[in-house]
Structure 1
Amino acid sequence: MKRFLHSFRYAAQGIVQAYRSEQNMRVHSVVAVVVLAAAAFFRVPGRDVMLLLLAVTLVLSAELLNTAIEAAVDLASPEIHPLAKAAKDTAAGAVLLTALFAVAAGIYVFYRPVIDWIAGIVS
């Protein structure tokens, strides 16, 4: 049981390390808070909030994996090498792909509420 509980502590340390070392992790987190606050402001239905939470989780998870891959590659290959670059670029591509999904999910969820809100202001 003690080992099991330690695994949570190690995972939390990894998340904290990513926040401290990676600006993109902090940026994604701030955007996530803004998106979830907007969901509350626009009273987005629960199923749509779940879609937003899925998108946020995917982006943050991809960023954590990207950070881990970059650290492992830097350790294994401190000098510039084409395979090291390929690994890092591919991991960054995974973050980009999940971020694009998150943008699409945001447009899907917020389009109608924002249009309705603007129409209420204009009229």
Structure 2
Amino acid sequence: MDNQKFSITDRIKSFKYAFHGIKLFFINDHNGRVHLFAAIIAIGLSFYLKLSALEWIAILGVISAVIVAEILNAAIEKLADVVSPAIHPKIKIVKDLAAAAVLVAAFLAVAVGAIIFIPKLFL
């Protein structure tokens, strides 16, 4: 058990590290930038269409799910490359599973976006 006392300074530092991680993700990860671009489009369209509070919650929820999944995927890939720089069948499975999580989140985001945006744009 950790007996360290609570420290505001340490909590602030942890936020600094987390924001640095977000910055690294969007600077270094091509897929992260693609998802950020899609998120900006979805948010802009949401403002334009004057979504309800529940629609906003759905859109922001799926945007967050996709970005979180992509961040975890990137972290797993980087860790896997350190653990096994050579091609290894089990590492490939780990990377494929992490990528699948992003794909599932992205499919959900597209479905939610379609349910919300298509009626407002075309019906």
TM-score, normalised relative to structure 2: 0.91
Q: 1:29 and 2:53 equivalent?
A: no
Which of 95, 98, 109 is the aligned partner of 1:102?
Answer: 109
Distance 1:20 1:43 in 2: 31
RMSD: 0.8
5+ long unaligned stretches in structure 1:
117-123
Kindly state the Cα deviation for residue 68 of structure 1 after the two structures are TM-superposed. 0.5
Between the aligned residues of both structures, percent identity stands at 34
- Count, aligned residues: 116
Distance 2:93 2:15 in 1: 31
Distance 2:85 2:73 in 1: 17
Equivalent residue number for residue 88 of structure 1:
95
Q: 1:67 and 2:74 equivalent?
A: yes
4+ residue stretches of structure 1 with deviation over 2 A?
none
Distance 2:89 2:82 in 1: 15
5+ long unaligned stretches in structure 2:
1-7
Distance 2:45 2:27 in 1: 26
Kindly state the Cα deviation for residue 53 of structure 1 after the two structures are TM-superposed. 0.1
Equivalent residue number for residue 4 of structure 2:
none
Cα deviation, 1:53-94, whole Å, max 9, x if unaligned, reads 000000000000001000110010000000111111110000
